[in-house]
Amino acid sequence: MIMATKTLTVLGDEKAGKKTLIGSLIYKCGLELTQLEALEREGVSQLNEIVPFYEKSSRVLSFYAPSGRIVVEIIESKEPDLAFWVLDAAASMNWRSSAEELRSLLSSGTLQPRERLLILVNKIDGRDLVGWSEHTFTEVVRTFSAANLKTDRAYILPISSLKGDNILGPLEGYSWMNDQSASHPSSSVHVSERSLMDLLR
C-alpha cells in the first residue's frame, strides 16, 4: 500500500521553537538508520540542530504521520495540505501581534491550508511558567479568538517540542485540558483535546 504524501508549512514567531519541533518530529517519526548514523557522525545531538543539518546536506525534511509521509516546508507555501503556526507561551507580549499576523495571512489568501491549520502553543512548560499553565493557555485562546481568523480549519493546542509532550500522545496528568473545548464554545478556533500527531490523521 502506497502512503500519501502531504505538504506542511511551518510558520510563526521568531524563537518559538519551530526548528526544535520539526527536529523532534523527524527524530521520532522520520529517521532511517542511515540518517541516524549521519547525524551521529556530524555530532548532531540537539533537536534544533537537525533542521540545519538537513538543509545543509540538501536532505528533504519529512516525517511519518498516521495519514502518511509529511514533507515539511519551513518557508511559506500558499496552499499546503497542513500548516503549523508556532508561538512561545512565555512571550505574552507577542501573542496579539502573532494572532494579527496569522489573521492577515489567512484573509489575504497568502496562506490557505487545504486540510488543517494547527496553532501550537509551544514552551508552555517553560521555566518562566509554573508547569502546564491553564491560565496561560486560556489567555492565548482568547487572544487568537479575538483575532477572528475566519476559518473553520484551525485547531489550537499546547505542546512542548523539546520534551515531546502532547505531540506523539495525549497529555497526561492535566485534567483541565479535557475541559478546554467546553470552556471556549464561541472560539473561532477549535481547542483540541487530541495530541498533535492525532490531528495529523
Residue ranges for the binding site for GTP?
A: 122-125
Bridge partners (DSSP) of residue 119 are: 85, 156
**Residue list for the binding site:** 122-125
Residue with cell 540537539: 46
Sign of the CA dihedral running 85, 187, 154, 63? positive
Instruction: Give the integer Cα–Cα distance in Å for 140 and 128.
Output: 16
**Cβ atoms of residues 91 and 17 within 8 Å:** no
End-to-end CA distance of the chain: 16
In 31-179, DSSP assigns E strands to 62-65, 68-73, 82-88, 116-122, 154-158
What are the b/e assignments for 93-125, b being 16+ CB within 10 Å?
ebbeebbebbbebbeeeebbbeebbbbbbbbbb
